[in-house]
Amino acid sequence: MTVAGWLTIAIFALLLTALAIPLGSYLAKVYTGQRVFLSPLLGGPERLLYRLMRVDAGREQDWKSYAKSLLLFSLAGWLLLYLILRTQDAFFVPHALNPLGYHSAPWNVTFNTVSSFVTNTNWQYYSGETTMSYFSQMAGLTVQNWLSAGVGIVVAVALVRAIVSRSGKGIGNFWKDIVRTVLYVLGPISVIGAIVLLSQGVIQNFGSYLTAHTLTGATQSIAMGPVASQEAIKLLGTNGGGFFNVNSAHPFENPNGFTNFFEMLLVLIVPAALVFMYGRMTGNRRQGYAIYGTMMVMFLGAVVVAYVAEAHGSPAQHAAGLHTHAIAGSAGGNMEGKEQRFGIAGSALFDVVTTVTSCGAVNSALESFTGIGGAVPFANLSASEVIFGGVGTGLYSILLYVLLAVFIGGLMVGRTPEWLGKKLEAREIKLAGLGILVTPLAALLATALATATSGGRASISALGKGPQGFSESFYAYLSQSNNNGSAFAGYTGLIQPNAGNVGAHGVTFADLLGGFVMLFARFGPIVFALAVAGALAGKRVTPAGLGTMRTDNPTFAVLLIGVIVLVGALTFFPALLLGPVVQGLTGHLY
């Protein structure tokens, strides 16, 4: 461990908070229809988009109508993306958009990929530079990076609106929300982000792959592509699907220590700001601070564990006689699967940043993390995306937990639970409970299926290597059900003997199971969250009395952490013990 490492973590937390507070105020204005500094510039395009899409932006929707628009929009996106990916080598696609002449990936892998991008998961069985044409990457995958992020954000916004609404059943207009999200929120930050990344060495071109003649006379082929535009939104929208196979570990996606820091900020800025937006919109900013504090405590805990574990080194390194402590000119640690320019701290922090959110980008090989270091992403995923979480997803997920915590608190003091002046009744609690259970249900059932059947075991690369094989499978379905997308990358669903998909075939079991898990665990909780919104909208508000439990102080934050940890631990502990915990407790090699 190094001083610079700890400093990175501290500065990151402070800077994130400092940037997220003003952005939260901005978001509150955007979603309550107030003028912002970008309105003069974007008002015209906004109205143009409404006209092109034939949207009546003034119409309020109730939760059912809102959910219907959202599901139809996602379905349309799914169909178009499937079409684009399956026709990437069709006769009508110009050569410049597919300069390497890559065939489409098989149908089963494409089913998985499309479901993955539409659900903001970005789980990738394919490897970008040997599978996808430039057109598929930019007009197919990148578009869903924007839209799936937008869908997550608008659900959170609709839920918050319902919580604070005083009358009526309306929770906003889906089309207006998604257009404003793209234009006012994701658009400006993404453009600035892409330009900053360009200035640091992220590539952006449509050239053929380079052929270099190295100093010692060998040839090296170097993949190219329009990377910066996709990189910025991939991080900002907590999507995580890399242009290249190795994602943000690739020097063309993440060239130096500064970009690594900047990319982590891009990932967390919107999820963090949404929490402050929530505080603003409730009219009591401390409501936001309590939730932010809850998230930050769990986040920092995860970072410390990951950093210490990775700096310690792995049993394999020690058995080989390597010394892993820091020496002059080398920070030591478990450098297997990590880049020199990021070091241990930059890798551990990135790992936590992208697994607490639904981002799932990686800048180091999770499969090579130590048992305990690897248990951290497991734990983050087990918390079901409430530690900041995906854009929007994080806020609506933790608000469901807040509901549960208020309910449990109410039971403890023996009063009807109240939240922001609204009485919580059986319907809301049932819906929130169901919403919380969807993800663990999908994760555990799929893992059980995948480890108990030979079809599922066909995907495991560490088969017969002790707990690592189980860890791989478990992580695969935990990640897909949380719409995260990071992977213990040995787990495979595409056999691709040659670049360009010549002779490639998918592992149907893993492809389909994963695809359905992602769709179910994405749209299930969304529908429940919107249903909760419907139940809360227009509920009568009674002024807080002496016996009202406060939800804006540290005591409540502690209760909330307790509920989250308890639910996560009770659900996932047995499975975690079989994989990463065993590996962390033993120095034994398999």
213 strand-pairing partners: 219
Residues 385-404 interacting with another protein (rule: CB under 8 A): none
Residue owning tokens 């799929």:
446
Q: What angle do CA 502, 506, 509 make, to 5 degrees?
A: 170
Q: What angle do CA 289, 562, 486 make, to 5 degrees?
A: 80
C-alpha count within 13 angstroms, C-beta hemisphere, residue 39:
10
Q: Counting contacts by CB under 8 A, is residue 7 touching another protein?
A: yes
Which two structure tokens, joined as six digits, stand for 569? 């631990």
Residues 187-206 interacting with another protein (rule: CB under 8 A): 190-191, 194-195, 198-206
Residue 314 or 551 having the CB closest to another protein: 314
Q: Counting contacts by CB under 8 A, is residue 77 touching another protein?
A: yes
**d(C-alpha 121, C-alpha 292), whole Å:** 23
Q: Counting contacts by CB under 8 A, is residue 305 touching another protein?
A: no
**d(C-alpha 586, C-alpha 229), whole Å:** 44
Q: Counting contacts by CB under 8 A, is residue 98 touching another protein?
A: no
Q: Are 502 and 514 in contact (CB under 8 A)?
A: no
Q: Counting contacts by CB under 8 A, is residue 514 touching another protein?
A: no
Q: Counting contacts by CB under 8 A, is residue 588 touching another protein?
A: yes
CB of 186 to another protein, least distance (A): 9
Residue 370 or 479 having the CB closest to another protein: 370
Q: Counting contacts by CB under 8 A, is residue 173 touching another protein?
A: no
Q: Counting contacts by CB under 8 A, is residue 302 touching another protein?
A: no
**d(C-alpha 159, C-alpha 532), whole Å:** 8
Q: Which of 1, 8, 67, 481 binds another protein (CB under 8 A)?
A: 8
Strand runs labelled E in 416-574: 418-419, 422-423, 494-495, 505-506
CB of 134 to another protein, least distance (A): 9
* Nearest-10 Cα torsion for 385, 389, 391, 397: 50
Q: Counting contacts by CB under 8 A, is residue 41 touching another protein?
A: no
CB of 142 to another protein, least distance (A): 6
Residues 263-292 interacting with another protein (rule: CB under 8 A): none
Q: Which of 147, 189, 432, 549 binds another protein (CB under 8 A)?
A: 147
**Could you tell me which residues come within 8 angstroms of residue 143 by beta carbon, excluding any fewer than 6 positions away?**
77, 81
Residue 129 or 418 having the CB closest to another protein: 129
Residue 192 or 452 having the CB closest to another protein: 192
Q: Counting contacts by CB under 8 A, is residue 466 touching another protein?
A: yes
Region of 399-407, 462-470, 504-512, 530-538 interacting with another protein (CB under 8 A): 462-470
Q: Counting contacts by CB under 8 A, is residue 76 touching another protein?
A: yes
Indicate the residue type of 199.
Answer: S
Residue 93 or 512 having the CB closest to another protein: 93
Q: Are 491 and 476 in contact (CB under 8 A)?
A: yes
Neighbours of 290 (CB within 10 A): 24
